[in-house]
Structure 1
């Protein structure tokens, strides 16, 4: 998709259940071995009471949508602003949604609203991304 093809309001989403394997693999790839993500005993003593997924793991789901669906192949993810408003627990089902908000044809940039919801339709991450579309 090019800048001429995208419209304000265009939207897409990706859904995934966050598994223990996902969290462990993300810890290895990122180097973030915070015990709140990996240690049941430690996590039980936190305000979350059980293990939570990395915020970066949930943000990565936006990248999936942006690079494969909207705008799609060839999209360059330039920035992400995120607010983590609810924890994501192991086995939560997440729907990562993006929606085109502002289009700057001159700079070939699109500002996207990014929201991830859990299986209870509660927002867990909200924010905005800036992407550059293929020419």
Structure 2
């Protein structure tokens, strides 16, 4: 897409299933081996009662969608606001929603809402992003 193709209200949705492999790979990559993410027995003793995904792993999927799908290649994330609302458990399906709120032509920037929502409608993350897009 070209920058001139974007308009306020335009939206896109991508679905993901958070797998055990994703969580374990992420933990290994960044070194966050908190047992609430990796140890089912430990997780059962917490308020969550089962293993949860790293919040930043879920948030990183926003970056994947912005950079690869919508707006797509050429997107540079320059600002992001994130508020975690609900845990994501292993094998849960989530959706990354992207909605264009504002187009700033003189700066080639887009202001986006980027919430993450579970299949059951629960908001996992409330988020906004500002991106530079020069295609």
Matches within 5 A, 1:75-114: 75-114=75-114
Render the CA deviation track for 1:41-62: whole Å, top value 9, x for unaligned. Answer: 2211111111100111111121
The number of aligned residues is 135
Render the CA deviation track for 1:47-81: whole Å, top value 9, x for unaligned. Answer: 11111001111111211221122111111112221
TM-score, normalised with respect to structure 2? 0.93
Q: Match of 1:50? A: 50
1:123 offset after TM fit, Å?
A: 1.1
Q: Give the distance between the partners of 1:85 and 1:68, measured in 2 at CA.
A: 25
User: Unaligned 5+ residue runs, structure 2?
Assistant: none
Q: Match of 2:25? A: 25
What value does the CA root-mean-square deviation take over the aligned residues?
A: 1.2
1:93 offset after TM fit, Å?
A: 0.4
Greater mean alpha carbon deviation, residues 46-55 or residues 102-111: 102-111
Greater mean alpha carbon deviation, residues 27-36 or residues 14-23: 27-36
User: Unaligned 5+ residue runs, structure 1?
Assistant: none
